[in-house]
Amino acid sequence: TVYCTGRSVRGQPASGASRPETIEETAEQVTSLGGKGIAVRVDHSVEEEVDALCQRIRAEAGKLDVLVNDIWGGETLHELGLPFWKQSPAKARLMFDRAVYTHLATSRYAVPLMLERDRGLIVEVTDGDSFGYRGGVSYDVTKTAVIRLAFAMSRDLRRTNITALAVTPGFLRSEEMLDGFGVKEANWRDAVKQVPDFIASETPSYVGRAVAALAADPNVHRRAGRVVASWTLAREYGFTDLDGTQPHWAEYFERTYGKAYTVADDAAYASWMGGSIEIVCPDWPKY
């Protein structure tokens, strides 16, 4: 059972939305694949709507196993390639509100459902599995904040059986990306003439299968607080994209650009661990 939430519903497009996809369409895809999709209009930046969603899930399903925070809404807001002193502060503020605050607010109301059974998985969807610069200050801060959010939540959840982590797709072959290149999924390779790197792209189902594999892993807690990529998980769990391939952005990058692909590994996370507050106040947070 999957609750598909968002602001775009049939006949009532979200304010400022530029895409035709709706949550009803997503829910119908879930059902057509053998699940049960339920569309619920929710503006995740409105606390009351998020609270109402979680109360509905408790009443109807009685539990929550997996929360996927893939809330974004920033495609028309990021200004990649511009230095921060030329970027719009108003766009940056809206991006933070849509793509960071929404994640925190949703987790705040969803996690109590998981605490009732002391089990669950929180997946923060981000862009990139390193701490490297992402080409624009507001975009960089937003996507890095989501990685940090997964880590910080994992520290608060460390005495529970609930796991918070972050997952990134590679070069995503989304509907919006396909439209931008003037192609469809059936002929997506035609866009490689415009952007050669597109040959290493992946469908949204690839990272979806990554989340499913994590949810089915009884030892997923070993990844608590970390960020991991779809291609890394594909190799580890053995799943493929819809066409049976295993796109691997890191290997493509190293082969194409002749540079090592950096990743947020144990060494990168070392400085994040053992913060002084955890030593001075080891019993924080108080449950």
Three-class DSSP category at 212: helix
29-57 pLDDT, tens digit per residue, is 999 999 999 999 999 999 999 999 999 99
> Per-residue DSSP letters for 118-169?
T-EEEEEE-S-SSSS--SSHHHHHHHHHHHHHHHHHHHHTTTSSEEEEEEE-
Q: CA-to-CA distance for 110 and 40, rounded, in angstroms?
A: 15
What's the pTM?
0.95
Three-class DSSP category at 3: strand
158-207 pLDDT, tens digit per residue, is 999 999 999 999 999 999 999 999 999 999 999 999 999 999 999 999 99
Question: What is the 3 state secondary structure string of 41-69?
Answer: ECCCCCHHHHHHHHHHHHHHCCCCCEEEE
Domain residue ranges of the chain, discontinuous segments joined by +: 42-172+200-280
Q: Which two tokens stand for residue 87?
A: 């970027």
To the nearest 10 degrees (0 to 180), the angle between helices 47-60 and 102-115 is 30
Residue 184 exposure: Cα atoms within 13 Å on the Cβ side: 1
Residue type, 86: K
Q: CA-to-CA distance for 102 and 96, rounded, in angstroms?
A: 9
Q: CA-to-CA distance for 107 and 53, rounded, in angstroms?
A: 12
Rg (CA), the chain: 19
Q: Which two tokens stand for residue 274?
A: 């053992």
Question: Which among 123, 233, 212 has a CA at the least distance from the CA of 170?
Answer: 233
Q: What is the predicted pLDDT for the residue at 15?
A: 62
Q: What is the predicted pLDDT for the residue at 17?
A: 64
Q: What is the predicted pLDDT for the residue at 75?
A: 87
Residue type, 88: S
CATH of the structural domain 42-172+200-280, one choice from 3.30.70.100, 2.40.40.20, 3.40.50.720, 3.20.180.10: 3.40.50.720
Q: CA-to-CA distance for 253 and 256, rounded, in angstroms?
A: 5
To the nearest 10 degrees (0 to 180), the angle between helices 230-237 and 249-257 is 120
* Tens digits of pLDDT across the chain (287 residues): 999 999 999 987 666 567 899 999 999 999 999 999 999 999 999 999 999 999 999 999 999 999 999 999 898 899 999 999 999 999 999 999 999 999 999 999 999 999 999 999 999 999 999 999 999 999 999 999 999 999 999 999 999 999 999 999 999 999 999 999 999 999 999 999 999 999 999 999 999 999 999 999 999 999 999 999 999 999 999 999 999 999 999 999 999 999 999 999 999 999 999 899 999 999 899 88
Three-class DSSP category at 37: strand
Q: What is the predicted pLDDT for the residue at 14?
A: 62
